[in-house]
């Protein structure tokens, strides 16, 4: 089978959270560039509008929704609305998330210094909103007996990572098991759900900490390939998991990390 058939998402409806920048933007771009109608959501409407226009100018079919995933009712309404408007929901990328601050290599990131309010906020956004995204999408996909759900986890959900905060590591581990649990239920309905576990990428998470050369070097030093990835390097995997090419892949977590979890 030719690649254009394997990865054919032409006319599919895809929904992406946290799509105004970083990994979410990369996911939206690759789906739009390959013919999907993409619903980009984020809390930043100005940046969404800018990227919608850019993608539309390139021939993409894109719409935007200003959305704060911490508002679970609004999140459900947005997903339900897209499915109702378009009559289908083919792929959803549960990508939005926030940092929990520095890891335990700094005093501020050690376990005794973890702030309860920050812990609760990270769990709400990185776990509860992901669950709500999966739950709402699954209802539509089970009815249509097809669909792809892709969750953004992290290699910090697979192994200890001293440079990320406790709540971040905990939530990224939790969503992996959430994916595995949901995969068992959704498999008979021809709905696949998988997690991507990125290593360090240049994104805005953590207020763009990787723009600090010292922080960037600390992350690069623990990557066997010796560098931080560009978000475009995630696009092949995102397209594959959101397309017919992933027809027999479900319940998996796929690291994309320059070899960080190989050892």
Rg (CA), the chain: 18
Per DSSP (E only), the strands in the chain are 13-16, 37-42, 61-66, 91-94, 147-152, 191-198, 253-256
The angle, 0 to 180 degrees and rounded to 10, between the axes of the packed helices 22-33 and 45-57 is 30
Q: Are 215 and 106 in contact (CB under 8 A)?
A: no
CA distances (Å), origin 122, targets 25, 115, 250? 21, 11, 26
Catalytic residue among 104, 166, 168, 202, which?
168
Q: What is the largest CA-CA distance in the chain?
A: 55
User: Could you confirm whether 168 is annotated as catalytic?
Assistant: yes
The catalytic site residues sit at 168
């Amino acid at each position: 089978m030719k690649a254009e058939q394997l990865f054919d998402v032409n006319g599919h409806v895809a929904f992406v959270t946290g799509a105004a920048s970083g990994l979410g933007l990369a996911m939206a771009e690759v789906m739009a560039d390959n013919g999907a109608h993409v619903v980009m959501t984020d809390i930043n409407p100005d940046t969404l509008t800018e990227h919608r226009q850019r993608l539309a100018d390139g021939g993409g079919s894109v719409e935007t929704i200003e959305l704060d995933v911490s508002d679970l009712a609004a999140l459900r309404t947005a997903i339900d609305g897209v499915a109702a408007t378009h009559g289908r929901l083919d792929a959803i990328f549960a990508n939005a998330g926030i940092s929990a601050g520095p890891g335990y290599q700094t005093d501020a990131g050690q376990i005794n210094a973890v702030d309860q309010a920050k812990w609760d906020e990270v769990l709400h956004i990185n776990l509860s909103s992901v669950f709500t995204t999966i739950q709402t999408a699954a209802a539509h996909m089970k009815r249509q007996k097809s669909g792809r759900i892709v969750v953004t986890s992290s290699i910090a959900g697979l192994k200890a990572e001293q440079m990320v905060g406790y709540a971040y590591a905990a939530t990224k581990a939790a969503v992996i098991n959430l994916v595995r649990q949901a995969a068992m239920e959704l498999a008979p309905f021809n709905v696949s759900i998988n997690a991507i576990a990125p290593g360090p990428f240049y994104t805005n998470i953590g207020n763009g900490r990787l723009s600090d050369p010292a922080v960037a070097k600390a992350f690069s030093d623990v990557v066997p390939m010796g560098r931080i990835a560009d978000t475009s390097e995630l696009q092949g995997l995102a397209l594959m998991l959101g397309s017919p090419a992933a027809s027999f892949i479900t319940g998996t977590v796929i690291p994309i990390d320059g070899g960080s979890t190989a050892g």
